[in-house]
Structure formats: structure tokens, C-alpha cells
Copies of this chain bind each other. A is one copy, B any other.
Amino acid sequence: MLILNQKQIESLLSRSEVLEAIEDAFTIFQEGNFDMPDRMHANYNNITLLLMPCFTSQYFGTKLVSVNPQNQAIGKPSIYGNMILNDSETGEPLALLNGAALTAVRTGAVGATGMKYISKESSESVGIIGTGTQGFTQALFACTVRPIKKINVFDLDDKKLTEFINKLQKKLPEIEFNGMNSSEELVKKSDIIVCATSSENPVIPNDPNLLKDKCFIGIGSYKPNMREFPDALFSQITKVWVDTPFAAKESGDIVTPLENNLLQKNQVNTISTLVANKHYDQAGTTFFKSVGMALFDVVVAEYLYKKAIKENIGTQADL
């Protein structure tokens, strides 16, 4: 069994190859060549354990994620994850991957796939609201799909904002970084706006004029009580693009506008229809909302596993 830790995953990947893998995943999704049972939730004390299996024709995988928000108080990560990748013919376990690194990478690539299909090709600036791991990989992958020159960043926590910019600047030395004083300033100055927070209330002002002709990417809200985008967004768009139809059940960014009649069910479309057919929807104000799915994990784990074998990276453990 091949073990791939965070550093090995980061050193191994090419962002353009991960983006190709995610486009493949959307094509698999569109063609239905996969089986993804509903994820299983288990709760015990402060811990939520998520078990996320998915089968594709050659590989299957299970991501196990445990979440304990109280870990931050003792200086530990609130999320731990592992992914086991197996051969779909025999069931043999092939690899164990660091789940946090895998999730960050695939989420970055899913967001950027949204940008590729629904943002204007000339977009030169991206604004990131929220300075966690997901915001970080959104910024990195944005630069692979669009000719980004400026990255604008906003976070309520100034210290986190500065650290985020310093860390990202090292990875992207040719980009101009700007800390923003408000999300309003960020939206004004950015062509593409990514929200990657755990907010329960919109983090963008409820002003239709501000939102005009921008591309919005929603990453943070994955529960019905979490919401990042204001009501005004839904007066500016004709469609919401989602990565999976579950987004309409899981994310408050879709659930709440549907409940409040700001959005109709038939306006919610799966972006795999664009990706699989190489169609684009880049005019006016556009919105892509991602909640993630295990299919992305399996397809990106397959890519990482094959590349690691080829380049002789990782630790082989006899199990």
C-alpha cells in the first residue's frame, strides 16, 4: 500500500493535471459511470465522522473525515481526514492519502473549473473572502485557469489576512496582492469573487449594482444554516451552477433563496453539462456553488496515485 502524506501530495501535483482530472470527473458524472452511495454521518460527543465512498470503473475510494470544532482550543486541527483508494476489480487497497491535502487540492480545482466555464476569459483579478486552506487553494488554482494579475483578499482577522498574503506570495511571486478593508471594496476591485468562509450570514453587501457582471464562486457553505451570498445576487443571475444536485439540499446559499422564492428549482443546473460538452456561460453576472462530492476525491486520488507510482514518490507500507 502506498502512503502519500501532505508534503508528498503537494510536491507531486501539477495544477493543470489536477484540473484535467476534475474535468474527467465531471464527464464521468455527466455520463453516470460511477456509483456514489449517500455519505454516512456518525456523531459521538464533539466529533462528527463522515464516511464517503465512491466507485468508478477502475478505482474506488473511501474518504473518512472527522470534525471536532473544539480542537482549535487545544491547538489541533479541527478536521482530520484519510482517503483509502482501492482497485475496483479486486477490492485490493492501493493507497492511503492525507485527506486534508486531497480535499484542499480537489476543492481548489473544482472552484477553478467553475471559473473556467463561467468567468470571463479576460478576468485579471480574483478576490478571496476567507483566509483558510480552501481560500488558499482557490487563489492558486484561479491563476491556472485565468490570466490573473491581482489577488485581493479580505478577512475580518487582520493577522490571518497578512499571514495568508505572505504565504501565498511565496507561491505566486509575480502576482500583486492587496489586502482589502471591506468585502465591498473587494467585490468592486475583482472580476472573480470567491467566498470560502464558514459564515451563517452573507459576507457580501446586498447591493445589486455592486454585483453586476462579476463571477461568484461559493465554496464555504456546506450546511443549510451557512450562507455567504446576499439576496441581491439572485436578482442578477438567470442560473445557479452547482457541482452536484446535493448542493440544493446541503447549502444555505441555495436552500435559503429557494425557500424565499428568490430562486426557482429549474434555475439550478449541474455544471457537468457545461464541462462535458465544452459549453460556456460567461456573460453577465454568474454564480457557481460547490459543496464537493466523493467522486472528486476518487478521481484526484487516482491521478495522485498513478503519478506517485510513476515518479517513485511516497512510502510503500506492507500491510
* A interface, CB within 8 angstroms of B: 3, 5-6, 35, 37, 40, 42, 44-45, 47, 49, 51, 53, 55, 60, 62, 64, 66-68, 71, 74, 76, 80, 82, 84, 86, 88-93, 96, 98, 315, 317-319
Contacts and interface: CB of A to CB of B under 8 A. Distances in A.
A37 B45 CA distance: 14
Given A42-B35, A49-B91, A319-B5, A86 B66 contact: yes
Task: Indicate the member of A3, A68, A71, A90 with the most B CB atoms within 10 Å.
Answer: A90
Contacts of A53: 40, 42, 49, 51
A71 B90 contact: yes
Given A47-B88, A49-B91, 18 more contacts: A3-B317, A5-B317, A40-B51, A44-B55, A44-B60, A44-B88, A49-B55, A62-B64, A66-B92, A67-B91, A68-B90, A68-B91, A71-B91, A74-B90, A76-B90, A80-B91, A80-B93, A317-B317
Contacts of A84: 64, 82
A82 B40 contact: no
A89 to B, nearest CB: 8
